[in-house]
Amino acid sequence: MKLKNKVALVTGGTSGIGFEAARLFQAEGAHVVVTGTNPERLGATARELGDDALVLAVDLRKVDEIERAIEEIRAKFGRIDVVFANAGAGSAAPLEEVTQEQIDAQFSLNFRGLFFTIQKAAPLMTKGGSIVATTSFLNAVGTPGLSILSATKAAIRSLVRSLGAELAPRGIRVNAISPGPIATPFHTKLGLSDAQLSETAAAIQAKIPLQRFGEASEIAKAALYLASDDASFTTGTELVVDGGLTQF
Ligand SMILES: NC(=O)c1ccc[n+]([C@@H]2O[C@H](COP(=O)([O-])OP(=O)(O)OC[C@H]3O[C@@H](n4cnc5c(N)ncnc54)[C@H](OP(=O)(O)O)[C@@H]3O)[C@@H](O)[C@H]2O)c1
């Protein structure tokens, strides 16, 4: 078991990549703490993970909710060994249609929420701790209509280097995992019509050297590697799991 008795916080753990990671981390021996916002998905996740898991409603756009969640973890477990800072969402819009509200909504969740998750969790972490942040293939390629979402992910990539440097003296590793296009509900929340969605999906798939979307479980396995002691000499890096999309 790669995470035996570790306490692992997974944000955005009620769906897609985070949900698969929470299940895998638990199967590898971790006590998992999962966050999300949607009551139905929170309930379904709690039922799936069972009594050992702590499933918390946390809107990461609100720092006081992050603080409350970290306090609950401190009260129940007393420490955090792994943070998978994974929650994220995006909205698609071309340059001329991007609004201040769209920029604020995406940065407040994807970047600010991730930053404060790490800031508030770090005091509960000790030597050997691991932080894994979810970036995206979008930080390496330009994609029309996804400028703001992509910029949030590029900001996270930078943050991983800075916080990795800050936390290295304490023996805490900070890495990113960069998924390619993955079959999750993420895409249905971009604000595209069904026709735009299937057209975009087909266009992206045609560019992926392995000729398919990835599965959430494939990202979960890579996140497990970075979270575990298997990656004990790896920090500041970004593990790309994208079917070759950004590499060839
Ligand atoms: N799918 C892809 O193709 C792809 C590619 C590259 C990178 N990524 C990244 O992978 C990460 C996970 O995405 P996914 O594909 O697994 O998407 P997903 O299935 O839509 O899951 C997103 C998760 O984020 C949570 N979330 C959304 N808004 C939140 C908020 N305000 N506060 C707290 N949690 C919130 C959701 O919880 P609720 O639903 O309960 O609110 C859900 O658990 C994201 O950071 C995404 O940018 C995905």
Task: Tell me the per-residue pLDDT of 53-86, one tens digit each, with 9 for 90 and over.
Answer: 999 999 999 999 999 999 999 999 999 999 999 9
* Nearest protein CA to atom 20 of ligand 1, as residue: 186
Mean pLDDT across the stretch 187-196?
93
Give the residue, by CA position, lying nearest to ligand 1 atom 23. Answer: 12
What is the per-residue pLDDT for 155?
Answer: 98
Grade residue 121 by pLDDT with cuts at 50, 70 and 90.
very high
Kindly list the strands in the beta sheet with 82-85, ordered across the sheet, starting from the edge strand earlier in the chain: 54-57, 31-36, 7-11, 82-85, 130-134, 173-179, 238-241
What is the number of the ligand 1 atom nearest to the C-alpha of 19? Answer: 43
Instruction: Give distance in angstroms: CA of 86 to centre of ligand 1.
Output: 7
pLDDT-based confidence at residue 20 (cuts at 50, 70, 90): very high
pLDDT tens for 200-244 read 999 999 999 999 999 999 999 999 999 999 999 999 999 999 999
Atom of ligand 1 nearest to the CA of 87: 24
Mean pLDDT of 140-169: 97
Mean pLDDT of the chain: 97
pLDDT value at position 153? 98
Domains parsed from the chain with CATH numbers: 7-241 (3.40.50.720)
